[in-house]
Amino acid sequence: MEAVDYGLPEPERGPRAAFVIRASRPGDARSFLEMWEQVVAERVYVRSDVVRQSARYYRRRFRDSWTEDHASLVAVDGDRVIGHLEVSREEGPITRHVASIGMAVAPDRRHQGVGSELMAECIRWAESVGVEKLALTVYPHNHPAWALYAKFGFVEEGRLAGHSHKAAGYFDEIVMGKWLVERPSLQDG
């Protein structure tokens, strides 16, 4: 991967602080939004440049957080949301075996195992609903995210050139995937 220095602080590896992983609830919306605003303000890790939705929107969105089609998970320390992972199945019948992931951990709680626990729970969800493959994209400079995904067995499948046009500029996206079943043989024709 390309090494790009954005001058962002590298979090110290900390002790495993107490937190709980569970499906998100409407009451998490406000705290989630506080965390999400911090992540978006970092500018270079996630696809969003601005926070568009309100707490009201997330209260509604966090109602059905564990269905056949998607899961919305939070890591909470008491009432505080310190991490979030959203995983959604593709809609069409041809790609329904695939689910895509987006995730973030609060800047002050990174490198303490929160992302790993969210990913482990995501995999439990995927296996419980028969998802066969997990997919995501990551920016080439996002080494912590890359390391997390590699640790869970995601592999690079391709690169979408200049796919994100953020305020900070155009970014490639690396496509990564992880099969939860034996990788099928592919039909090339």
Q: Which residues bind ligand COA (CB under 6 A)?
A: 10-11, 39, 45-46, 103-105, 110-116, 138, 142, 144-145, 147-148, 151
Closest residue (Cβ) to ligand COA?
A: 115
- Minimum CB distance to ligand COA smaller for 24 or for 142: 142
| Angle of helix 143-151 versus helix 114-128 axis, rounded to 10 | 50
Q: How crowded is residue 9: how many other Cβ atoms within 10 Å of its Cβ?
A: 7
The least distance separating ligand COA from the CB of residue 155, rounded to whole angstroms, comes to 15
- Minimum CB distance to ligand COA smaller for 4 or for 181: 4
Buried b / exposed e along 38-56 (16+ C-beta atoms within 10 A): ebbeeebbbeeeeeeeeee
The least distance separating ligand COA from the CB of residue 151, rounded to whole angstroms, comes to 5
Which stretches of 45-140 are DSSP H helices? 55-61, 114-128
Give the integer Cα–Cα distance in Å for 26 and 64.
9
The least distance separating ligand COA from the CB of residue 188, rounded to whole angstroms, comes to 30
The least distance separating ligand COA from the CB of residue 64, rounded to whole angstroms, comes to 23
Q: Which residues, 6 or more positions from 22, have their beta carbon under 8 angstroms from its beta carbon? A: 73, 74, 76
- Minimum CB distance to ligand COA smaller for 10 or for 188: 10
